[in-house]
Amino acid sequence: MNILKTIKDIIAPKKCYSCKKEWHFLCPECLQKRQLHSEICYICKKPSKNFLLHYNCKKGTILEYFEKIIILAHYKDNYIAKLIKDSKYNHKKDILEDMAHYLSSHILHFDNLLPKEEYIIIAPPMYFLKKWKRGYNHSEILAKHIAEKLQIPYDFSLVKKIKYTRQQSHLTKEQREKNIISSFSLTKNANQKIQWKNIIIVDDVVSTWATIGEIARVLKKSWVKKIVALIIASD
C-alpha cells in the first residue's frame, strides 16, 4: 500500500492549494498563514486552557455533553473551505490524510491523550443510502487516519444513523436541530465498549453542531467519561 502511494505521489504529486508547492494539499507554511483557532472556550470565545468549555457556558446548550472542542481553522478561509468541499464532494480523499496529520498534531499540542486505552475515536455515521450514493464517508476516512497517527482505536460500530434526514447545509439552525433529533442510536454492543471511556468525535466542518451534539447526547447516556470534538473547521 505504501509503495503504491509513493508511486502515485511521484506520478501525480500533491500540490498546495495556496502556493502550488508539491507534496501537500496545504503545505505547513501556508497552514500557518491561515487564521487558526486560538485556545478558547468555543461558546463564549474567551481564553480557556486546552480548549475546555466553561461549565456555565455549555450548561443547557447543545454542547453540554462536550468537555472540550478543538478546532484547527476557520471555515471562512477560502482555501480551507475548498479543501473540505473537494474531499467531501469531489472524491479527493487524499486531502483527508493531510488534514488528519495537522489535526493529530493539533490535539497532541493541547492533550497528551494518556492512557491511550481509555480513548476511542469515532466519526458521525452516514445513513446507508447517502453513503452508497456518495461512495464513502469522508469523516470516517478522516477519523481512521487520525486514529492511526495517534495510535488510538477507531470504532465505526458504536453509533448508527437510523433514519434518513435532509441535508443539513440546506437548512436553518432551527431546522437542522429538528431534522437530526432521534436520528442516531447506539449499536447492540456499544454500551460495554464505551462505559468510562473518553470519546473523540472527528468531523470535517460544523456550524450549528446539531449532528455531533445529538451524537454526544446519545453517547453520554451510556456513562461515557468525557467527549471531545476534533474538527478541521468551524466559524
Q: Residue 193 corresponds to which amino acid?
A: K
Instruction: Name the grid cell of 209.
Output: 453542531
Q: Which residues pair with 129 in a beta bridge?
A: none
The predicted model gives 212-234 an average pLDDT of: 95
Percent of the chain residues topping a pLDDT of 90: 76
pLDDT of residue 178: 77
Q: Evaluate if pTM is beyond 0.85.
A: yes
The predicted model gives 105-113 an average pLDDT of: 93
185 has pLDDT over 60: yes
150 has pLDDT over 70: yes
With bands split at pLDDT 50, 70 and 90, how would you rate the model's confidence at 101? very high
pLDDT of residue 5: 62
**Residue 161 CB partners (closer than 8 Å, separation 6+):** 124, 125, 126, 127, 128, 183, 184
* CATH class as words, domain 39-234: alpha beta
With bands split at pLDDT 50, 70 and 90, how would you rate the model's confidence at 208? confident
pLDDT of residue 217: 94
pLDDT of residue 24: 93
- Give span(s): CATH 3.40.50, the chain: 39-234
